[in-house]
Amino acid sequence: MRERLILLPGWAIGPAALEPLRDALLERAPHLTVEIEPLPALEQSGAWLDELDARLPRDSWLAGWSLGGMLAAQLAARRGDACRGLIGLCSNMNFRDRDDWPHAMPREVFSTFHEACRLDPAQTLKRFTLLVAQGARDARTLARQLQVTQLASTPKVLDAGLRLLDVLDIRAAVQGYAGPQLYLFGGRDALVPAGAAEALLEWLPDVEVQVFDEASHGLPLERPDEVAASILGFMREGDDV
């Protein structure tokens, strides 16, 4: 039976942005099935996880970028043994900071961004691609790639995704999921502080964490070959891919 890996993009990031990573994975492991699945286009943020659970195949590895990784963690915890393993790509335990998790985006910064998206979604999305690319070796090119691959989402769907990012705390899911877990971070990430990686390891030493020192929040698109090598090495530790 072929191993299956599901890739989930992040908020306002189209599935096409993960195609270079999929291609790099398949080049190294042609017998692996890799599927890119878009995030739900639902206006009710509370229904996103149920929609993913109904749509995504079971007995697969789950990997997600940013919000996609946070949702993958929740789904892995829900599925238990029916999830082969969990991989987070620039995914924090909380996207915006909390009193007991300060290693995240300051809440006032998040609130300002959320309000800007409500007032001017198009301009905010353009700014978002610049933030995702900030810290990359070639930030301008990466931002253009992100803009080209963005999906046309309605303002209400964008707002639902931001409401999820505001409230999601995946620590219980991560701690409760017994399968193998890998988390990859960018050392120059402008949206997820690099300190989140160290905080995660201190809190839960059993998971695997890797930081790409000179990488942005756009890590999966910026460094697909290196990310693919890390993912496949991790998967081989638990099973022969």
Average pLDDT over residues 20-39: 97
- Could you say which DSSP state residue 40 is in? P
Active-site choice (45, 60, 66, 216): 66
d(CA 94, CA 101): 7
Q: Measure the CA angle with vertex 11, ends 34 and 73; round to 5°.
A: 60
Active-site choice (45, 103, 217, 230): 217
- Could you say which DSSP state residue 38 is in? P
66 in catalytic set: yes
Residue of 159, 95, 148 whose CA lies nearest to 124: 159
Out of 125-129, 159-163, 187-191, 233-237, which region has the weakest mean confidence (pLDDT)? 233-237
Helix axes 19-28, 224-238, angle to 10 degrees: 50
The pLDDT score that the predictor gives to residue 241 is 45
Residue 159 makes CB contacts below 8 A (sequence gap 6+) with 43, 114, 117, 118
Residue of 49, 182, 183, 173 whose CA lies nearest to 103: 183
Give 127-153 pLDDT, tens digit per residue. 999 999 999 999 999 999 999 998 888
Q: Is the model's pLDDT at 239 over the cut of 90?
A: no
60 in catalytic set: no
d(CA 22, CA 35): 8
Q: Is the model's pLDDT at 227 over the cut of 80?
A: yes
Tally of domains within the chain: 1
- Average pLDDT score over the chain: 95
Active-site choice (45, 91, 153, 189): 189
User: Residue 180 is part of a domain; what is its CATH number?
Assistant: 3.40.50.1820
Give 163-208 pLDDT, tens digit per residue. 999 999 999 999 999 999 999 999 999 999 999 999 999 999 999 9
Average pLDDT over residues 96-116: 96
189 in catalytic set: yes
pTM of the model: 0.96
Q: What is the extent of the structural domain holding 182?
A: 4-238
Dihedral through CA 18, CA 19, CA 22, CA 28, nearest 10?
-130
